[in-house]
Each structure stands twice: as C-alpha cells, then as structure tokens.
Structure 1
Amino acid sequence: MKILFVTPECAPLVKTGGLGDVAAALPKALRMLGHEVVTLMPAYGGMQPGGTLQRVIALPRTARWPDAQLLEVVQPSGEHFLFLSCPYAFGDVKSPYGPSGAGAPGHAAVPFGLLSHVAALIGTQRSPTGWQAEIVHANDWPCGLAPLYLQAERSAGGSSVARSVMTIHNLAFQGVFPIEATDLLNVAPPYRGVEGVEFWGQLSMLKAGLQQADAITTVSPTYAREIQQPALGFGLDGVLRARSHQLHGLLNGIDTEVWNPCSDGLIAERYDVDDLAGKAKNRAALRKRAGLPDSKQPLLGLIGRLTEQKGVDLIIAGAPRLLAKGFQLVVLGKGDARLEDALLQLAAAYPRQVHVTLGFDESLAHQIEAGADSFLMPSRFEPCGLNQMYSQAYGTPPVVTATGGLADTVADVTRFPDDGTGFVMPRADQASFDQAMDHLLRLWGNPRAWQTLQRRGMQRDFGWGNAARQYVDLYAALVRTTASAH
C-alpha cells in the first residue's frame, strides 16, 4: 500500500514528545512489512533535514494558501520524506507548536491548515508529486484538517481519493482557533458546523479530524476506553462515543534499534538480560555525570514534561520522605515554571541526592534509563507513554499509575509477584505514590527478587512489529472499502 504519514514532528529532526519517536519508528516498521511509506512534515526554520535531496516540487499557487514547495529527501537509512517548505508558515519557527486556544489569532491556524491541505492533495489524483497515497495517516491536531479536506473532495465527486486515519496521541491538545479562521482555511460550508470543525463556537482542528476520518486510532486500548468518558474526554467524549465503531486502541511500540541496552551507543556499558553487570557500571556513570556520590539505596530517574499531568507534583511532595530514606533522584525535562523551580530548590537543598537538568538531552535520557534503578511516571493520565517501556527494556522497573498505556504495559509486582514488571499505583494521589515507593524499597532489600523483576521487564517484547501489523490490517480494510465503492 501507498501510505502518507503526516506529522508535525519526527525524531531526531524535531521532537517535543512521544509523537516524535512514533513518527520515526512506525513508518520504518511499516516499510519493513513491505509497504511504501512517505513522511510529510514541515521544514521548520533552522532544521537540518539531512539525507539526499531528490527534487524540489512546486505546489500549485492559489489565492487561498501561501506559496510553498515540497523538498523530497531520502535519508541514508532509506526513510522517504517530503518536507513542506513555506517561509510564511514555518520559516521562523524553531518549535512545532505555536499559539492556539482562547485568544489565538485566526492566522495562527494557517501553517497546520496548509500542512493538512497538502496532505489531502497528495491523496488525490492531483498530487503534485506524481505519487498518490492510498492512505493518509494524520497525527494529532496539526494534521486534523486533512481528513476533512479528503472528505470534502470525495463529496464533491473526486475519484480515487485516499482513505484517512486520524491518530490521537493526546486528546488534551485540540488545535482550537477562532471560528472565523474557517475562511482562511478554506473549510467548505457543509463542514463549518458541529459535524465538522465547530467546537463550542470555535474551530477545533482535532474535532474536524475525529468527525471526518474514515478511521480513528489512539495509542493504547485503555486510553481508547478512557477518552469516551467525560473525565478524560476533554469535551470530545460524545464525538468519540458516536464514532466508537471507528475508534481503535492500538498500543504504541518502541524502536528497539534505538532503545536497546544490548546495542545502545549512548550508555557507558552495554548489557542484556543474561548479564546485568553492565547495569551497575551505568549507575556509577550516571551518578558521576550528575555529581552524586555512591549509595546503596535506589537511584530514581525522571524524564519528560514537568507537568501535573505527569504527576511531577506528587514526586516533589514525596521527595523529602524518600530522600530521608536515602533515595537519590536524577531529573531531565522541561515544563511548568512552578514545578521547575520546586525541583531546582530540591536540588539546591539536597545536592548529594538530587540532580536536575532542565531541557532535553538525548544522551542523558539514555543514560538515565540505563543507570537508574527505577523510573518514576505517576501520570494522572497517559495516552500511551514510551518511557515506561524503555525502562522495562533497560531493567529499570517503573512506578506508574493504572491509566492509559501505563495500565496496558506494566504489570504490578505487588499484586502479581510472579508476573510483575513494575509498581502500579491504583490512583494518582499522594498516598498511592508513597505506598508504591514503600513497596519498591521493600523489594529493593531482596536483591534476588529485584533482579527477577528486572529480567521479567527486559524479556517483554515492546517492538513495533505487532502494532505495525495492526495498522496494516486497518489500512487494508479501508483500501478494500475504497475498491468496493468503485
């Protein structure tokens, strides 16, 4: 099949979170199954696309959209990219996501409206590349108008129009703009109401995609159920319940070529499930890099957005109690200023036990996964999460909440002593976090049981193969629907 994978970010070119990793790994896994996959993403200002430039493709000039072109690039590893180059939309942008939500100007919707427009165009016989996608796979709100544009083309009598898949990576981010932006975005009148973009009097790019996509996916089975309820539906639970037959919870995988302690070139010592000696060397190297002294007590790791969604406030509130027991903590991330300040104050108060790096550092992320004894991820909600899977692969049992993909990927050792791979909190509250840490410390006191826990996690298969096959089955069903319609 010919698949266009549309995304606002892709590691290592541009990455702000899990979507960047998914956009790098899933197309690769689909290609390994024999399918033709092209990734479409913006060419942000200052981004180095790498690879070999095959050609520059001019896009049709219109009064509606800013002038733009496509840069067709093939990476050394074989990945095929189309970079959308548009100085007006992306020329000065260093990070993918500009203003949205209340107070955002209507013109702020144009860059990702353009991305969606071009994606849809490549799914029609008018594709400027000469290559027409059979499936347009749109990811998160920046690509949410692509399914709408494709549906509008089909409704207008367009023949051989690609089928669309809309993937929700995090429903909390919806791409909301003033409803007046419908003119700028060339949204046809039939799609300006509640069956299209309208969301409480504004325009929601994500809602447009959920309403008009041929299939909707999200990144774990549990999250697919959670988002159909008001608590985690963010106002779109009704839409998702109405389209529940088109909603599929397909669990993300991890790129086992990048995140693998047997082959990881960014860690101090490689190791595997049969020989955990390298884990101790990575722990020593991480302590040295973080300026922490040796200790017999657990070294905890935290990587990610420093927000209340991730339960970072629970970690901060519980830290004095943990540090009094001798724990150490290494943090890498960026997020809410209040939580950043609290972590910096913690590091200043406990310089021999806490190290905080604000920002993102790929090598340090790998070193934390390999060097920490346990990974903290007590999220209030988590569509899928990747770090809990990285952690298990690296023999770093995670502490998580029973929500979303965390519930689908971590088995609680306190409830299932013979099958557990981590510590699962029933709720994201302080009592549950403190209790989970007490369980951790008790098991840490039994080295043989701790190593058994590590090995069970390392033996789990979190590769992309299974998820890619499920996506292929979904794509194939949609393509058959197109064929039968003709």
Structure 2
Amino acid sequence: MKVLFVASECTPFIKTGGLADVVGALPKELQNEDYDVRVVIPKYEGIREDLKQQMTHIYSGSAPVGWRNQFVGVEKLVKDGITFYFIDNEYYFKREGLYGYYDDAERFAYFNRAVLEMLPNIDFQPDIIHCNDWQASLIPLFLKTHYHDSSFYEETKTVFTIHNLKYQGIFPKEVLYELLGLGDEHFTVDSIEFHGNVNYLKSGISHANVLTTVSETYAKEIQNPYYGEQLDGLLRARSEELYGIVNGIDYEEYDPMKDENLSFPYRSSRIKKQKNKTELQEQLGLQVDEEIPMIAIVTRLVEQKGIDLITHIFDDLLQRNVQIVLLGTGDYHYEQFFREAANHYPEKVSTHITFNEGFSRRLYAASDLFLMPSRFEPCGLGQLISLRYFSVPIVRETGGLVDTVQPFDEDTLEGNGFSFTNYNAHDLLFTINRALTIYNDKALWTSLFNNIKKSNYSWNKSAKEYLNLYDQVVNSSKITVKS
C-alpha cells in the first residue's frame, strides 16, 4: 500500500507545533515492507540550509490557482528511510515563518493543487492521501471536483486528521471563485460554506472518506457544542466515519538516556534525575536542594493552556516549598505576569519567555512535576514527553490528557500522574497540593515513579491502529478501530 502524508510542517525540517512532531514521527512507524509511506510539505525559507543541500530537484510544472497557473517545483530527500517531497515556489514560501500572511488562503490553495498536480508526474500513485489540518484540507474536495474524471486518482481514498479544531482557515466567499476555481454549487452548508465565508477545515471534514483526530476523548468532545467550534453538528453527522487515535512520541527522539542536552543521561534513575535538577537549580539561581520539588511549565502562554488558572493560584502555590520554572511565549499579559513573578520570587521562580528545544529537554529532565491544566487539549505532547523524562504530569481531564494520564491512587498504588475535572483554579491548587504531599512520601512517590516506568506512549500501538484503518478504507470494508 502507498500512503502520502500532506501537511504544512514536519520535523526535522520545519516546526511551529505538535503537528510537525506527528508528521515527522508517525510515517517512520508506519513504514514497513507492506507500506510505502511518504510525506510532502512546502519548501519554506526557514528549512535549514544543510537539509536544503540534500534535496534533489525531480519535477517542474504548474498548478492552477483560480484563473492563473503558478510554477510548481518538486524536490526530494530521503531521510530515515522516508521519502520527503517539497513543493518549491518562492513567491509563496520564501518568507519568514509559516503562517499569518494576508494571502494564506492563496498559499495553501496552491499547495493543495500543487500536490495533486505533482503526483502523476513523479511515479507515485498513493492508495491513501492522508491530509492534516486546514492547510491540507482542500485535497478531498479537489479530488471530487477538479480531478473527478482522472483515471490516476480513480482508486485514491482520503483520510483527514484534525489536530486542533480551533484553527480552521476561514476566508471570504470570493476565495471560492478566485482561488479554488469552484462555483456556488459548492457554497453550501454540507460542503465549504461557513456563516457566509469559506472554511477550509470544513471542506476536509465534509469530503474526506474517513476522519480522524488525535485522541479518543477529543473525538467525542468535538461532537458537543462546547468543544465543537461551531462544527459539532457536521461532526455528529459524520460520527460513523470519525475515529480517535491517540498521538504518540518518537521514543528515539525523546530518550533521556541518549539526550545530548543532558549532563546526566538516565534511563529511569532517580539519582541521575536529581543531579540534573541540582545542576539546573544552580544555573538558574534557584535554591540548590534536591529535596525541593521543581514544577515545570513548558507551554504556549494562551488561555487554551489553562494559564489563567495558574496565575489565579500562583501566590498561594508559592507559599509551599516549591520551585517553578516556566518556558514559553504567548499573550503579552501572561508573559509580563511570569516576568514579574520571577522578579518577586527569584529563588523560587525562573521565567524564560522564549522557546529553546535544548532547554526544554533539560527542564523535563530536571523537574519533578509537569503542569498542564488545559481548557481543552486535542492530544497534547507535553505530558507524553514529561512521562518519558519521569516528570509527573498534573493535568485537567480533557482530550488526550484523559487518555494518557491516569490519576494516582494511594490505595491501589495505580496511576501515572494527577488530574482534576472542573476548569477551576481551586481544583487545580488542590491537585497540586495533593501531588506535593505524595512527593514528600517517599514510598508513595516510588510507587508512582515505578508506574511511569511501565507507561509506553511510543507510536507503536497507534501506528497499528492507523494501518488497520488504511487497510479497511482501501478495501471499503466495515471499519473496526472505532474508539
């Protein structure tokens, strides 16, 4: 079977968030003797020069964008056994950053058409085109409109994955004619129309053969108005084709035993982990004491991530014997809050308004607890990385956090973290206090630590679910991997 992943970002080439991690890791897990899995993304200016130097030009052509034809260059690179294609058009992609431009509607309409124009010319005919998020969501619609009479695509099926329903790609109605080359017959509530606008994500939901999202719980949540972002009705209508498959992480990429960022690599040694903590305490100017629990926050500083809950209880939390280290960027008022907190509590709080991958690994390795009280979380990667580095997660029970963090029970000694249900600051404080109490009980903390040793959130199990889904989509048989 041949599978093509289409996405707007992918590690190790370019990344703004968890989508890149998924697209970088999952194809490697899927690839085997029976599956030829490949990936295509835009060729951005921000891709490292050494990676660009390894690319080989394999095709030049064009793709229609409304009434115009735009150049399509295709470059190829094989890395870690996976073939990657890069859509090369400097007008659209030779820019700083990936998103947020005035012509994003045009840039990604072009990208979708370029992929479909590319495939017949590079000797790769996929059985499945696996589209990811709104930037790749037009392919299922284009296959039914512009390519409906193409013998090349006659047997091709589409899988569309929603990584975060909040980001939809909503643009004015004129996009339908000027960029997509479609007429009013497609501007309907069961296709691409959305409150008088064009909604790219809705197009993928409406027209793909099968829909997936990144955890079982999120697949259920988004069918309800609170989480559904005004698409819950459509998602309920397609519930029979909607599957929740939880994300994993690349256990080779995230391995505290092989992580070059750590001074003290470890497999599951608490002693080595504490050495990473005391080293970081000294470097950050915090009180150096391996017994003081360190809480890590590695996140975007936005409301979705529960930052308002954290700020509400911050002064109360600092009455406890804890240290808090924050790494992230986001809304200005949250950035200022944590800067001021570090100024007021220099021995207890260390704030880093940036993103630094190496520092994040050191923080996961050094911290005892990892705070992630999200308002909603499709899957979340932070809690999976924290478990890999034995930093115990404290999460709110939503989305993938429910599916991956089981609350610790002092009586049964089962569970790998701590969680709370209601989106409430005092419930968060209560849960943190409970976690600190367990931390100070060496026997209970050892039981919790040992449970984390048994946790496995590599891609292995989820990849098998995707392979099962692909097989059944292609064979048009009844799909049985339903969450």
Q: Is structure 2 residue 175 aligned with structure 1 residue 181?
A: yes
Residue number in structure 1 paired with 2:20: 20
Residue number in structure 2 paired with 1:231: 226
| Pair 1:61–1:198, CA change in 2 (3 A) | closer
Q: Secondary structure at the match of 1:305?
A: coil
Which of 64, 73, 76 matches 2:77? 73
Once residues 431 and 232 of structure 1 are traced to their aligned partners in structure 2, the CA distance between those partners, rounded to angstroms, is: 23
Once residues 219 and 196 of structure 1 are traced to their aligned partners in structure 2, the CA distance between those partners, rounded to angstroms, is: 23
Residue number in structure 2 paired with 1:112: 108
Q: Is structure 2 residue 126 aligned with structure 1 residue 133?
A: yes
The one-letter amino acid paired with 1:89 is Y
Once residues 139 and 51 of structure 1 are traced to their aligned partners in structure 2, the CA distance between those partners, rounded to angstroms, is: 27
Q: Is structure 2 residue 90 aligned with structure 1 residue 87?
A: yes
Residue number in structure 1 paired with 2:318: 323
Deviations 1:129-177 (A, max 9, x none): 1211111111111111111112225644645242111100100100001
Q: Is structure 2 residue 143 aligned with structure 1 residue 150?
A: yes
Residue number in structure 2 paired with 1:163: 157
> Where do residues 27-426 of structure 1 align in structure 2 (5 Å cutoff)?
27-32=27-32, 34-48=34-48, 49-50=51-52, 52-60=54-62, 62=64, 63-75=67-79, 77-92=80-95, 94-99=96-101, 107-122=103-118, 127-153=120-146, 155-156=148-149, 158=151, 160-189=154-183, 190-273=185-268, 275-295=269-289, 296-414=291-409, 417-426=412-421
Q: Contact 2:313/2:426 (CA < 8 Å) preserved in 1?
A: no
| Deviation (angstroms), 1:50 | 4.5
| Deviation (angstroms), 1:182 | 1.0
| Pair 1:33–1:233, CA change in 2 (3 A) | farther
| Pair 1:234–1:61, CA change in 2 (3 A) | closer
| Deviation (angstroms), 1:438 | 1.2
| Pair 1:109–1:245, CA change in 2 (3 A) | same
Once residues 407 and 214 of structure 2 are traced to their aligned partners in structure 1, the CA distance between those partners, rounded to angstroms, is: 21
Residue number in structure 1 paired with 2:5: 5
Once residues 403 and 46 of structure 1 are traced to their aligned partners in structure 2, the CA distance between those partners, rounded to angstroms, is: 34
| Pair 1:407–1:217, CA change in 2 (3 A) | same
Deviations 1:163-217 (A, max 9, x none): 1111001001000011111123224333232222110100111000000000000
| Deviation (angstroms), 1:377 | 0.2
Once residues 350 and 441 of structure 1 are traced to their aligned partners in structure 2, the CA distance between those partners, rounded to angstroms, is: 19
Q: Secondary structure at the match of 1:44?
A: coil
The one-letter amino acid paired with 1:18 is G
| Deviation (angstroms), 1:78 | 2.5
The one-letter amino acid paired with 1:173 is Y
Q: Is structure 2 residue 472 aligned with structure 1 residue 469?
A: no
Residue number in structure 1 paired with 2:481: none
The one-letter amino acid paired with 2:210 is A
Once residues 415 and 450 of structure 1 are traced to their aligned partners in structure 2, the CA distance between those partners, rounded to angstroms, is: 10
Deviations 1:233-275 (A, max 9, x none): 00000010000011000011110001122222222212223x3
Q: Mind listing any 5+ residue stretches in structure 1 that lack a counterpart?
A: 100-104
Q: Contact 2:58/2:122 (CA < 8 Å) preserved in 1?
A: no
Once residues 166 and 329 of structure 2 are traced to their aligned partners in structure 1, the CA distance between those partners, rounded to angstroms, is: 18
| Deviation (angstroms), 1:221 | 0.3
More divergent stretch after superposition (185-194 vs 425-434): 185-194
Query: TM-score, normalising length from structure 1?
Result: 0.92
| Deviation (angstroms), 1:114 | 1.4
| Pair 1:200–1:19, CA change in 2 (3 A) | same
Once residues 217 and 236 of structure 2 are traced to their aligned partners in structure 1, the CA distance between those partners, rounded to angstroms, is: 14
| Deviation (angstroms), 1:118 | 2.4
Q: Contact 2:63/2:113 (CA < 8 Å) preserved in 1?
A: no
The one-letter amino acid paired with 2:40 is L
More divergent stretch after superposition (410-419 vs 225-234): 410-419
Give the number of equivalent residue pairs: 470
Large movers: runs of 4+ above 6 Å: none
Residue number in structure 2 paired with 1:450: 445
CA RMSD of aligned residues (A): 1.8
Q: Contact 1:141/1:206 (CA < 8 Å) preserved in 2?
A: yes
| Pair 1:142–1:380, CA change in 2 (3 A) | same
Q: Contact 2:410/2:444 (CA < 8 Å) preserved in 1?
A: no
Once residues 181 and 217 of structure 2 are traced to their aligned partners in structure 1, the CA distance between those partners, rounded to angstroms, is: 33
| Deviation (angstroms), 1:38 | 1.4
Percentage of matched positions with identical amino acids: 35
